[in-house]
Chains A and B, each alone.
Chain A
Amino acid sequence: GQNIDQPTEMTATEGAIVQINCTYQTSGFNGLFWYQQHAGEAPTFLSYNVLDGLEEKGRFSSFLSRSKGYSYLLLKELQMKDSASYLCAVRDSNYQLIWGAGTKLIIKP
């Protein structure tokens, strides 16, 4: 079966750095997405990786290793507004997105 694993919850301090990991086992791979979802709101797109390596976008970076079935989202200079759930999704061989359950990130002052 297809599986996306992320930690359920993480806690970090304002101003610090946090890394959210995602491991996947899917039938085929056609890209990996990270979305942010604030409580009670819709998911919003953060990043996309299809080749190995690091993609940097401001305070957020996303890394992919296809051989290891592994990605991480790195958030720097954490702000209180970064408190949200972060969803990892993989596009499979049928070009459908398979979603992880999400990681709830709690930021403390």
Chain B
Amino acid sequence: TAGITQAPTSQILAAGRSMTLRCTQDMRHNAMYWYRQDLGLGLRLIHYSNTAGTTGKGEVPDGYSVSRANTDDFPLTLASAVPSQTSVYFCASSAGLTLHTDTQYFGPGTRLTVL
């Protein structure tokens, strides 16, 4: 099975442009997450969705938006990119059936450079 796929693998984007990072999972997981990973920092949660139709803000949501129209897809949109959004973006999912043991599984990541 594919698990979680992300697209594109990498992208160079001009500041001020918009972009959508795609994430699709085939595990029928209820919960999905978007993180950014920057050198020297831990993964930081941008947005999450506990189930289709609902979304929530994480630690660093400003400048990003998400939607969860169905179980499988969880796109992340940058409305007007800025250089500080240069990062590696990981999508993750979890079954979301139990609160304690719920384990997150990660996609391969999108490396985004904003110039």
List the interface of chain A (C-beta within 8 A of B): 4, 30-31, 33, 41-45, 48, 50, 87, 89, 91, 95-102
**B interface secondary structure, majority:** loop
A43 to B89, CA, bound (A): 12
**Given A42-B106, A44-B106, A96-B58, is A87 in contact with B42 using a C-beta cutoff of 8 Å?**
yes
Closest to B104 in A: A97
Q: Say yes or no: is B22 at the interface (Cβ < 8 Å to chain A).
A: no
Going nearest first, the 4 A-B pairs with the smallest beta carbon separation are: A99-B42, A42-B106, A99-B43, A101-B42
Taking a contact as CB atoms under 8 Å apart, the answer to whether B99 and A50 are in contact is: no
Q: Give chain B nearest CB distance to A82 CB in angstroms.
A: 19
Q: Are B42 and A48 in contact (CB under 8 A)?
A: no
Q: Hey, which chain B residues are within 8 Å of A44, CB to CB?
A: 106
Q: Is the CB of A50 within 8 A of B101?
A: yes
Q: Which of B68-115 contact A (CB under 8 A)?
A: 90, 99-109
The contact of B42 among A41, A45, A91, A98, by CB within 8 Å, is A98
Interface residues of B in 33-76 (CB under 8 A from A): 40-45, 48, 58
In this complex, what residue of B is CB-closest to A45?
A: B103
A43 to B102, CA, bound (A): 15
Q: A91-B100, A98-B42, A102-B42 are in contact. List 11 more A-B contacts (CB 8 A).
A: A31-B100, A44-B106, A48-B103, A89-B42, A89-B43, A97-B43, A99-B42, A99-B43, A100-B42, A101-B41, A101-B42
